[in-house]
């Protein structure tokens, strides 16, 4: 059949329109693909942003739940990424089944999901149901895995939350707080936000303080059963302007997560050696320095210590490195090798907060340990004194059997001191003898001089130490 050229010309607009239609369809499909996560098939964060954060987007949902699978990384490391993918697919399917019909589910990042809830919803109950359903996942053909999940919830109209961006931020902050505090789920509140701001502020001030070295060191003595000082523990103190004193329990984890602990740790070592150098060598006790696992893993610790010894003319036998058992859990063999090397160079190693973790005896087996510091929680059980005494005796036997010196931490009363002494403990540390204080305030303990007599508390504690010297 021959088609007249005029007829062909009249078909051109039609062909062109069809071609354009096909192009448009393709672009729609591929952009939908871009907005969907290829593993779970769920819409991703760009889809959420497009739906709610775009100027022409939908109004914010009633609530946002931000859920994280906290041990997904561990699953990937231990069982491989394929198993991790399986877990994610099953988890997203289970969440989808558990959620009420009007809830939208997004996969926000590797291990986080966001649910947008509408209408008359009960987000805490929803979070609980989902968390329960995710507790155990059984990837095909493999042993079941326990998932550790946490949820943060933010509800519209509560506190200062109005738009979708606020809700996501609030739910993510609640999720982080829940993880930190070990709660399965938490509801966003203003105090939580203030806490988060405080952390950001602390992190900023911390970095400035590391730069200008505006920290101080306090020292807490370790005593023998006669009350004599056998060693000192150096404890960091920080009081940034406008915030007042901040506990090391609060700022050390921030210094660790930001990596600041590495320059800070180096400054601590220098400061401790510098300050204690003023004590005459004949009365100078060895000093315990707390070492963070981040410092251990940084690969710089040995050089930092060597350099500080060179500069101060001191010996490694004067330094005891305190490591906290629960912090070493993930890198036990690497840390063990490092500590062994340090021990070989003459530093002594103290295992801090012993007994507070989950696998203390395993640590003792694998780590080179010279000193065990028994966690102060063991002295708190007033209701069962006999049981407490038996547990403490077991720590004493452990030390004796392994030829390791054992220090009882957190001795706050004469009664505790007597109990420990009767059991056979030989080393004690705690407020009963002395709170951590500047080295200057401790001088009378060593010399009997009246150098620090203006320090009322120092004088008082000195008396106490004397009582037990006799």
Stretch of 22-30, 34-42, 114-122, 289-297 lying at the interface with ligand C2E (CB under 6 A): 289-297
The binder of ligand C2E chosen from 44, 139, 430, 458 (CB under 6 A): 430
Q: How many C-beta atoms lie closer than 10 Å to residue 2's C-beta?
A: 5
Site for ligand C2E in 155-214 (CB under 6 A): none
Q: Which residue has the tokens 């708190």?
A: 380
247 binds ligand C2E (CB under 6 A): yes
Is residue 304 a contact point for ligand C2E (CB under 6 A)? no
Please tell me whether residue 104 binds Ca ion under the rule CB under 5 A.
no
The partner in contact with residue 275, picked from Ca ion, ligand C2E, none with C-beta cut-offs of 5 to 8 angstroms by kind, is: none
Restricting to residues 212-241, name those near ligand C2E by CB under 6 A.
Answer: 220, 234-236
Regarding 290 and contact with ligand C2E (CB under 6 A), the answer is yes
User: In sequence order, which residues have a C-beta less than 8 Å from that of residue 217 and are 6 or more positions away?
Assistant: 234, 235, 236, 237, 268, 271, 272, 275, 438, 439
CB-wise, 137 or 252, nearer to ligand C2E? 252
Instruction: Please answer whether residues 42 and 90 qualify as being in contact, where contact means their C-beta atoms are separated by less than 8 angstroms.
Output: no
In the bound state with ligand C2E, the residue whose beta carbon lies nearer, of 356 and 389, is: 356
Binding flag, residue 325, Ca ion (CB under 5 A)? no
The owner of tokens 């106490």 is 464
Cβ 376 vs Cβ 407: under 8 Å = no
Mark residues 351-380: x for contact with Ca ion by CB under 5 A, - for none: -xx---------------------------
Burial 33-66 (b: 16+ CB within 10 A, else e): eebbbeebebbbbebbbbbbeeeeeeebbbbbbb
Q: Where are the alpha helices (DSSP H) in 186-227?
A: 190-212
Q: Write down the residue that tokens 């005896």 correspond to.
A: 361
Choose which of 353, 360, 427, 441 interacts with ligand C2E (CB under 6 A): 353
Lookup: tokens for 346 = 């003459």
Tokens of 23: 């192009």
Q: Which is nearer to ligand C2E, 237 or 440 (CB)?
A: 237
307 to 148, 238, 285, 301, 435: CA distances (angstroms)? 43, 25, 21, 10, 30
Shorter beta-carbon distance to ligand C2E: residue 134 or 287: 287
What single-letter DSSP state applies at residue 53?
I
Does 322 help bind Ca ion (rule: CB under 5 A)?
A: yes
Among positions 96-125, residues that touch ligand C2E (CB under 6 A) are: none
- Rounded Cα distance between 232 and 219, Å, is 6
Return the number of the residue (121 or 235) whose C-beta is nearest ligand C2E. Answer: 235
Distance of closest approach, residue 429 Cβ to ligand C2E, in angstroms: 6
**Among residues 63, 121, 173, 268, the one that binds ligand C2E under rule CB under 6 A:** 268
Residue closer to Ca ion, measured from CB, 318 or 352: 352
Q: Which of 431, 438, 451, 459 binds ligand C2E (CB under 6 A)?
A: 431
From residue 80 to residue 99, the character string flagging contacts with Ca ion as x (rule: CB under 5 A) and all else as - is --------------------
Task: Write out the binding residues for ligand C2E, residues 379-418 only, by CB under 6 A.
Answer: 410-412
Structure tokens at 140: 């095909």
Contacted entry of Ca ion, ligand C2E, none for residue 436, CB cut-off 5 to 8 Å set by kind: ligand C2E
In SS3 terms, 219-252 reads as EEEEECCCCCEEEEEEEEEECCCCCCCECHHHHH
- 320 has which bridge partners? 288, 348
- Name which of 233, 314, 300, 232 is nearest 261 in CA terms: 300
Minimum separation from the CB atom of position 409 to Ca ion (A): 5
Say whether residue 463 binds ligand C2E (CB under 6 A): no
Neighbouring residues of 434: CB distance < 8 A, sequence distance ≥ 6: 220, 221, 442, 445, 461, 464, 465
Give 62 or 352: the residue with its C-beta nearer to Ca ion.
352
Spatial separation of the C-alpha atoms in residues 95 and 133, rounded to whole Å: 8
Q: Which of residues 182 and 245 has its CB atom nearest to ligand C2E in the complex?
A: 245
Decide: is 325 part of the binding site for ligand C2E (CB under 6 A).
no
Instruction: Work out whether 429 is an interface residue with Ca ion (CB under 5 A).
Output: no
Nearest to 369 by CA among 357, 358, 354: 354
| Residue indicated by tokens 């302007």 | 241
Residues 269-308 that bind Ca ion (CB under 5 A): 290
With CB under 5 A as the contact rule, which of the stretches 66-74, 317-325, 332-340, 446-454 interacts with Ca ion?
317-325
Tokens in use for 294?
A: 């981040």
State the nearest-atom distance from the C-beta of 287 to ligand C2E, in Å: 11
Taking the C-alpha atoms of residue 49 and residue 43, their distance in angstroms, rounded to an integer, is: 10
Q: State the residues that interact with Ca ion by CB under 5 A.
A: 290, 322, 352-353, 409
Q: State the residues that interact with ligand C2E by CB under 6 A.
A: 220, 234-236, 247-249, 252, 268, 290-292, 324, 352-353, 376, 410-412, 430-431, 436
């Amino acid at each position: 059949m021959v088609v007249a050229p005029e007829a062909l010309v009249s078909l051109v607009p039609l062909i062109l329109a069809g071609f354009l239609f096909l192009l448009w369809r393709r672009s729609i499909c591929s952009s939908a693909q871009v907005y969907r996560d290829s593993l779970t098939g769920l819409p991703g964060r760009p889809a959420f942003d497009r739906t709610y954060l775009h100027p022409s987007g939908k109004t914010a949902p009633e609530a946002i739940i931000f859920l994280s699978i906290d041990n997904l990384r561990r699953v990937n490391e231990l069982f491989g990424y394929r198993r991790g993918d399986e877990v994610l697919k099953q988890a997203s399917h289970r969440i989808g089944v558990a959620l009420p019909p009007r809830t939208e589910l997004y996969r926000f990042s590797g291990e986080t999901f966001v649910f947008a809830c509408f209408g008359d919803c009960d987000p805490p109950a929803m979070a609980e149901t989902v968390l329960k359903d995710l507790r155990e996942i059984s990837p095909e053909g493999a042993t079941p895995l326990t998932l550790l999940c946490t949820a943060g919830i933010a509800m519209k109209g509560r506190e200062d939350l109005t738009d979708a961006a606020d809700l996501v931020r609030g739910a993510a902050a609640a999720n982080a707080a829940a993880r930190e505090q070990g709660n399965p789920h938490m509801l966003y509140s203003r105090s939580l936000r203030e806490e988060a701001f405080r952390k950001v502020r602390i992190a900023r001030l911390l970095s400035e303080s590391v730069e200008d070295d505006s920290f101080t060191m306090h020292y807490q003595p370790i005593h023998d059963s006669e009350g004599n000082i056998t060693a000192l523990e150096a404890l960091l103190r920080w009081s940034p302007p406008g915030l007042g004193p901040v506990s090391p329990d609060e700022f050390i984890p921030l210094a660790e997560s930001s990596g600041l602990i590495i320059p800070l740790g180096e400054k601590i070592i220098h400061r401790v050696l510098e300050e204690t150098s003023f004590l005459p060598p004949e009365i100078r006790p060895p000093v315990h320095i707390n070492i963070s696992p981040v410092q251990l893993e940084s690969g710089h610790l040995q050089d930092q210590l060597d350099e500080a010894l060179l500069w101060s003319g001191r010996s490694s036998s004067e330094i005891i490195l305190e490591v906290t058992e629960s912090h070493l859990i993930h890198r036990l063999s690497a840390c063990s090798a490092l500590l062994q090397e340090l021990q070989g160079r003459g530093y002594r190693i103290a295992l801090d907060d012993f007994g507070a973790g989950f696998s203390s005896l395993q640590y003792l087996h694998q780590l080179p340990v010279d000193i065990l510091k028994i966690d102060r929680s063991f002295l708190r059980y007033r209701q069962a004194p006999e049981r407490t005494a038996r547990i403490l005796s077991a720590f004493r036997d452990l030390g004796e059997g392994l030829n390791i010196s054992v220090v009882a931490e957190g001795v706050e009363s004469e009664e505790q001191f007597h109990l420990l002494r009767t059991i056979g403990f030989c080393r004690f540390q705690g407020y009963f003898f002395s709170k951590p204080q500047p080295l200057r305030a401790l001088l009378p303990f060593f010399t009997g001089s009246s150098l620090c007599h203006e320090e009322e508390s120092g004088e008082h504690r000195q008396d106490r130490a004397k009582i037990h010297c006799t």
